Structure 1
Amino acid sequence: MDSISPPERAGGKMGETAPDTTTQRILFFGDSMAEGLVRRMADYAQENGHQLSRVVWYNSTTQLWATSDTLRHYIRKYRPTFFMVCIGGNEQFLKRPLERETHIRKLMNIMEGKPFVWIGIPTWKGDTGFNNMVQQCVGPERYFDSRRLTLRRGSDHVHPTFGAASLWMDSIAEWMQDRYNIQMQKPSKKATLKFPLHLLQPVK
């Protein structure tokens, strides 16, 4: 059975009011670490009345997302009001992680000031400073630190199983509602709606 050890809560709430029930158009994009998350996120979108579009780009990096037209393309297509980002699985062991700060800031510019959350990578052998750099760049109020989570991994010992990713998404959703005031009630059933899911192959 998959289980998860929750992270410590960091900082206070962004707001003490009841969650905003406004329907959001959410664009969830990332690398292969996001694949299990976006599947569970469909359950949350249906439960809470949000529109959801999902883009998983295998073997992608912050550099690829920032220097290509991919994100802009999906922004034009889906006109999101809220972003969820999970990128960095392929950047955990960079020798000079600070060099990626420029790309992260460019991604923030591409999102045009819309609210977003950045989901940190659940490290499996530590990292060289990439996660701290991302947190400092986007701000702790937007960053979900996954490093304290204990997740069951798949056969590659890197990616969480789909069951573990579902529990990971539950922790993220609770944090989002607590910190970001977005409606993210836990789903009572699996999604039956077919939210768009784009699986992009690695760049050759």
Structure 2
Amino acid sequence: SAASAAAVAPPPAAPPEFSVPPNTAVLHIGDSFALAGFAQALRPRMEAHRVRYAVKAETSSYTVTWASRMELLVANYQPDLVIISLGANEVENVNPPAHAGAVRRIVKAIGGRPCVWVSPPLWRKDTGIIDVIRTNSAPCRFFDSDALVPGPLPRKKDKIHPNEVGGARWADAFWAWLMAEHLPPGEGEGGEATKRSPWALRPSPPEEHRSRAQPPESALQQSEPAAARQVERL
């Protein structure tokens, strides 16, 4: 019977425990949001895995601030993983598309290393910088803080930066995502699995870098017949 078959079915395999070899290097660049409880809450997790965790964050810095610095930082630190927390100071920018080149330049400087761009958890509607980062940050993974962090986040008195509790909640969500997206050693294609970074991440799903300003493909397909009917009427 189905019941007896279910009784003897083996339990689903638990995901492998996250592990990286000791002494890997993680470079985290960012603005004041990186220091708003986020990096502080990530540090003990990194240190528990004996990671050399270097945080290079500057208040009031922009994607364009870091674009010219990344090659040297990557050369100096030789990171196994790069985390980027930038975009908060561009939330009200009048011309977000002008920053696409800086986003791409940062990503290019990282080379083939695993990387994640962590968008800021928004405190107001942005003028488009999040979508510019989303659509220009591949092959880095994109962590959409607004979608993936349970909100509303507790903030400081400025009502902008997360406070210590908010930053810790943000870090909790990011760390859980990072563990889930980590590609365990030995998983994947033969020889490739042995050569890759210990911080290798799974490939991005197609929607991760797809513009939110554009309707999903299914909506586009549904609207085509209506558009065709419109043409017939003309």
Common fold: TM-score over 0.5: yes
Report the secondary structure of 1:123's partner residue: coil
Equivalents in 1 of 2:172, 2:139: separation in Å?
Answer: 19
Amino acid at match of 2:158: D
Aligned to 2:39: 38
Which of 151, 154, 157 is residue 156 of structure 2 equivalent to?
154
The answer to whether 1:25 aligns with 2:25 is yes
SS of residue in 1 equivalent to 2:103: helix
Deviation for aligned residue 1:39: 1.1
Q: Report SS of the residue matched to 1:147.
A: helix
- Which structure's relative contact order is higher, taking Cα pairs within 8 Å and 6+ residues apart? 1
C-alpha deviation, 1:78, in angstroms: 2.1
- How far off its partner does 1:163 sit? 1.9
Per the alignment, residue 124 of structure 1 pairs with: 123
- SS of the residue corresponding to residue 43 of structure 1 reads helix
- Summarize the alignment of residues 171-186 of structure 1 with structure 2, pairs less than 5 Å apart: 171-181=173-183
1:18–1:181 contact (8 Å) kept in structure 2: no
Report the alpha carbon displacement of residue 18 of structure 1 after superposing the two structures with TM.
Answer: 5.3
CA contact (8 A) 2:117 2:140 kept: no
- What do residues 125-169 of structure 1 show as CA deviations (whole Å, max 9, x unaligned)? 110111122112124971111114321010111000022101110
Identity %: 23
Distance 1:122 1:139 in 2: 20
Q: Could you tell me how far apart the structure 1 residues matched to 2:139 and 2:91 are?
A: 19
- Count residues in correspondence: 167
| Residue 73 of structure 1, CA deviation | 3.7
Q: How does 1:67-78 map to 2 (within 5 A)?
A: 67=68, 69=69, 71-78=70-77
Please list every run of 5 or more consecutive structure 2 residues that lacks an aligned counterpart in the other structure.
Answer: 1-14, 185-197, 200-234
Amino acid at match of 1:107: I
Query: Which deviates further from its counterpart, 27-36 or 74-83?
Result: 74-83
- Secondary structure at the aligned position of 2:160 is classed as coil
Larger proportion of helix: 2
Looking at structure 2, the residues matched to 73 and 137 of structure 1 have their Cα atoms a distance apart, in angstroms, of 21
SS in 1 for 2:39: helix
Where does residue 197 of structure 1 map in the other structure? none
Normalising by structure 2, we get a TM-score of 0.65
CA separation in 1, counterparts of 2:140 and 2:58?
A: 25
Structure 1 position 17, deviation (Å)? 5.9
Structure 2 counterparts to residues 48-63 of structure 1, below 5 A: 48-63=49-64
Stretches of structure 1 that go unaligned for 5 or more consecutive residues are 1-15, 185-204
Q: Conserved in 2, the CA contact under 8 Å of 1:27 and 1:53?
A: yes
Q: Are 1:20 and 1:181, in contact at CA under 8 Å, matched by a contact in 2?
A: no
| Aligned-partner Cα distance in 1 for 2:18–2:134 | 24
What is the Cα-based RMSD across aligned positions, in Å?
A: 2.2
**8 Å contact 2:107–2:140 — kept in the other structure?**
no
1:75/1:139 Cα in 2 relative to 1: closer, same or farther (>3 Å)?
A: closer
**Does the 8 Å contact 1:84/1:117 carry over to 2?**
yes
Q: Secondary structure at the match of 1:32?
A: coil
In the TM superposition, what is the alpha-carbon distance from 1:20 to its structure 2 partner? 4.8
* Corresponding position of 1:87: 86
In the alignment, what sits opposite 1:64? 65
Q: Identify the range of structure 1 (40-49 vs 85-94) with the bigger mean alpha-carbon deviation.
A: 40-49
**Which of 142-151 and 121-130 deviates more?**
142-151
